[in-house]
Structure 1
Amino acid sequence: MRMTSAVRSAKRAPLLQVVKSAVATIGAWLIAGWLIPGPLPVFAAIAALLVVLPSVNQSFTKAIERSLGVIVGVVIATGLSLLLGPQSWVVLLAIVVAMLVAWAFRATPGMGNQVAISAMLVLALGSSSPQYALDRILETLIGVAIGIIVNALIVPPVLTAPARRDLGLLRAEIAASLDRLATALPTAQTPAQLQGLMVEARLLRPMLAAAEASITAGEEALTLNPRRSQRGELVEMRALLSTLSPIVTQVIGMTRAYFDHYDDSIADEPTVHAIAEQLHRAGHDVRLAVQVADVAPEPSSETSTIPALTAPLRVKPPASGHWILIGSLMEDLRRIRGNLVGED
């Protein structure tokens, strides 16, 4: 099982990505071979293959890394060959020098490997003449250019759907957590129920991270992408995530405070019943905020279009010894309302 997971991805790459890579590689091979007669255009084909990535922005970044790596590697190989002659051990020396140069300039791992590979290929496959080195550099530039063009023209990815899905799921779980806490407050709870309440609240953290990653991926996919019409939608999603993110912290904090300070007499505290009602209203407004932004995966027919948290909750000091818990719940509820209505 471990060996299989080491060589197989959990998710299959889209077939379109394979098609784009093949088109870019073939195109780079044919065009570079036509423009630069001589050895097989291996550098162009490799460059095009490596540059076709899931987004145009990633392709552009990879193209810069690839081009600079090839230029530095070719220059190192040519210089060492002219200085030391066509000796077999010069290939090994060029690899070591290339790695040290990349390390000295703090190059990325990808660029460092590219410098060493380019130096080795130049010495192993061809001559050390300046003209040969120049041809390989031009060949690489042709390959990366074709890779970027193909990636931009053949249905560039627009990753707004995963961001919309993950943000909608986060919304649903925040509202559900608020409702679960609201239902638990005025009733007696068993230790198992309290533990389950805490576990479910903590699940908000990975869901928040997933929504953040999806929105970031969507923003990256639209950078340098000709299909930028959905950029405004991602801006709205980012703003909504900024609203929901602190609410996640507050919901987990409220659940934790209830878990830590629970005793059976809490359900008899009049203020707790009022807070429970406000938590249900907060869950309603969380659902409403996401529906207004049009990112809910399935609009809820049970959610009205009128905000429920229309005014802050005002209560008298608790009559029992639960003032620490009541104060903590009230403060977090105040912050949730402030985030939803834009006061914080």
Structure 2
Amino acid sequence: MTSDQPRPGRWAAVARASLAPARAFQAPSRTPLLQVLKTAVAAVVAWAVCSFVSGGQPPLFGAIAAIIVVQPSVNQSLSRAIERSIGVIAGVVVAYLVSLVFGAPSWLILLAIVLSLLVGWALRFPQSSTVQIPISAMLVLSIGAQTPGYAFERIIETVIGALIGVAVNWLVVPPVALKPAREAVTGLGREIAATMDSLATVLSAPTDEAYRTGMLVEARLLRPMQSKAQKAVDAAEESLRFNPRRTANRELLRENAELLTTLGIVTNRVLGMARAVTDHFDRTLPEEPNAVAIAEELRRAAHDLRLVLDEAAAGTAPDESTVDLEPALTAPLRAIVPDPQHWILIGSLLEDLRRVREEIVGASADLR
């Protein structure tokens, strides 16, 4: 291939670069198709129902309210319905008051926009309601001035559309976000177990600085994983509020939350152990009998943590590495007097290991 000919991967790189601006407007994942279909159903039903109260006008307010109200959870739908209705009512009131005071000059719509935004700010309305107020005021002043009863009909239409959106989202397979929460919590637990195995290797075998640095980085990454898992559990709790399937899934949500609490404590201890070992490491540490014993207990703790995660994953296949295995944690470790050079580190590790053991044993007992 000559130098002036394009390399095999050049066109692919050019294609990716050309698509980069378009991808900036794309979400990381598609909205579930069921959510799209529910939104479409809500809009169609709202249009049909609101046609009877729209006074000959296209029932745009009702259809828009239904589309906006269908959210990922029933609780969010209910909140958005209230916000949308309040925004429309406030906009209609603002439009009525300014027209009553100033008549119908050409600049009245601009004044209504400014006053509507100030009303939303003064009353501390959420952004969705604050934006809705000037929109409703503009429509009432521009169309309702020539159409008797327009303002009142738009309020009724919006409320009906919002109620239909909530009803459709409540009746048609309301979403439950328990699976992402379980996956996030389980992923955090398995990463903690892997970090404990790496820490055990540092304590019991010769390692280079690169390995120890990687172990510390691995431990520090537990923090963002913990935050991600907490957000996933919060989203699962949000999805169950006002959800007709709440009763059937409440126990699974409780187990997720309790397991995450346990893993949060273990994360703190494992991260502290990783920092202590990195800060106080010397080449003679793997020769310390207490360090070797602690390493063995860390491996047992990692083993039993994986068992806890498999027990918590109800209805899923257990990890192949832990099938048919029994808990491996022994009785509390009895340490001999450590070398004077290591006694502070050994004491710190023993206390952290004791707390880790208590949390894992407690979590296992709760699941049984």
**Fold shared by both chains (TM-score > 0.5):** yes
Instruction: Give the counterpart letter for 1:291 in structure 2.
Output: D
- 1:26-52: per-residue Cα shift (whole Å, max 9, x none)? 211111111342322111111111101
- 1:231-274: per-residue Cα shift (whole Å, max 9, x none)? 21111111111111111111111111111111101011110011
Q: Is the 8 A contact 1:165 1:297 kept in 2?
A: no
State the partner residue of 1:169: 187
Give the C-alpha shift of residue 75 in structure 1.
Answer: 0.6
Map 1:114-129 → 2, pairs under 5 A? 114-127=132-145
Instruction: Give the counterpart letter for 1:89 in structure 2.
Output: W
Q: Is the 8 A contact 1:167 1:295 kept in 2?
A: no
> For 2:117 and 2:301, how far apart are their aligned partners in 1?
57
Structure 1 residues 188 and 305: alpha-carbon distance in aligned structure 2, compared to 1, 3 A threshold? closer
> For 1:308 and 1:128, how far apart are their aligned partners in 2?
81
Tell which deviates more after alignment, 289-298 or 210-219.
289-298
State the partner residue of 2:299: 280
State the partner residue of 1:200: 218
> For 1:218 and 1:180, how far apart are their aligned partners in 2?
32
For normalisation by structure 1, the TM-score amounts to 0.94
Q: 2:125 aligns with which of 86, 96, 107?
A: 107
> For 2:51 and 2:26, how far apart are their aligned partners in 1?
34
Map 1:200-279 → 2, pairs under 5 A? 200-228=218-246, 229-279=248-298
Q: 1:52 aligns with which of 70, 94, 97?
A: 70
Q: 1:96 aligns with which of 97, 114, 130?
A: 114
> For 1:115 and 1:295, how far apart are their aligned partners in 2?
48
Q: 1:318 aligns with which of 335, 338, 351?
A: 338
State the partner residue of 2:348: 328
Q: Is the 8 A contact 2:73 2:239 kept in 1?
A: yes
Q: Is the 8 A contact 2:55 2:153 kept in 1?
A: no
Give the C-alpha shift of residue 7 in structure 1.
Answer: 2.1
Give the C-alpha shift of residue 302 in structure 1.
Answer: 3.9
Q: Is the 8 A contact 1:158 1:222 kept in 2?
A: yes
Instruction: Give the counterpart letter for 2:46 in structure 1.
Output: A
RMSD (CA atoms): 2.0
> For 1:173 and 1:114, how far apart are their aligned partners in 2?
46
> What secondary structure, in the 3-state scheme, does the structure 1 residue paired with 2:181 have?
helix
> What secondary structure, in the 3-state scheme, does the structure 2 residue paired with 1:188 have?
coil
> What secondary structure, in the 3-state scheme, does the structure 1 residue paired with 2:125 have?
coil
Structure 1 residues 297 and 209: alpha-carbon distance in aligned structure 2, compared to 1, 3 A threshold? farther
> For 2:48 and 2:125, how far apart are their aligned partners in 1?
31
Give the C-alpha shift of residue 277 in structure 1.
Answer: 0.9
- 1:173-229: per-residue Cα shift (whole Å, max 9, x none)? 111111111122111221111111111112212221222121111111111111221
- 1:258-296: per-residue Cα shift (whole Å, max 9, x none)? 111111010111100110011011112211222222359
Instruction: Give the counterpart letter for 1:325 in structure 2.
Output: L
> For 2:36 and 2:88, how far apart are their aligned partners in 1?
24
> For 1:79 and 1:305, how far apart are their aligned partners in 2?
74
Give the C-alpha shift of residue 297 in structure 1.
Answer: 5.8
Give the C-alpha shift of residue 122 in structure 1.
Answer: 1.6
Instruction: Give the counterpart letter for 1:288 in structure 2.
Output: L
Structure 1 unpaired stretches of 5+: none
Q: Is the 8 A contact 1:122 1:128 kept in 2?
A: no
- 1:129-188: per-residue Cα shift (whole Å, max 9, x none)? 883222111111001000011111222111111112122211211111111111221112
> What secondary structure, in the 3-state scheme, does the structure 2 residue paired with 1:161 have?
helix
Give the C-alpha shift of residue 88 in structure 1.
Answer: 2.4
Instruction: Give the counterpart letter for 2:340 in structure 1.
Output: S
Tell which deviates more after alignment, 316-325 or 99-108.
316-325
State the partner residue of 1:189: 207
Q: Is the 8 A contact 2:199 2:274 kept in 1?
A: yes
Q: Is the 8 A contact 2:53 2:153 kept in 1?
A: no
Structure 2 unpaired stretches of 5+: 1-18, 364-368
> What secondary structure, in the 3-state scheme, does the structure 1 residue paired with 2:329 have?
coil
Number of matched pairs: 343
- 1:55-108: per-residue Cα shift (whole Å, max 9, x none)? 111101111111111111111011111221222211111110011111111111
Q: 1:22 aligns with which of 40, 44, 65?
A: 40
> What secondary structure, in the 3-state scheme, does the structure 2 residue paired with 1:342 have?
helix
Q: Is the 8 A contact 2:280 2:345 kept in 1?
A: yes
Give the C-alpha shift of residue 310 in structure 1.
Answer: 4.2
State the partner residue of 2:156: 138
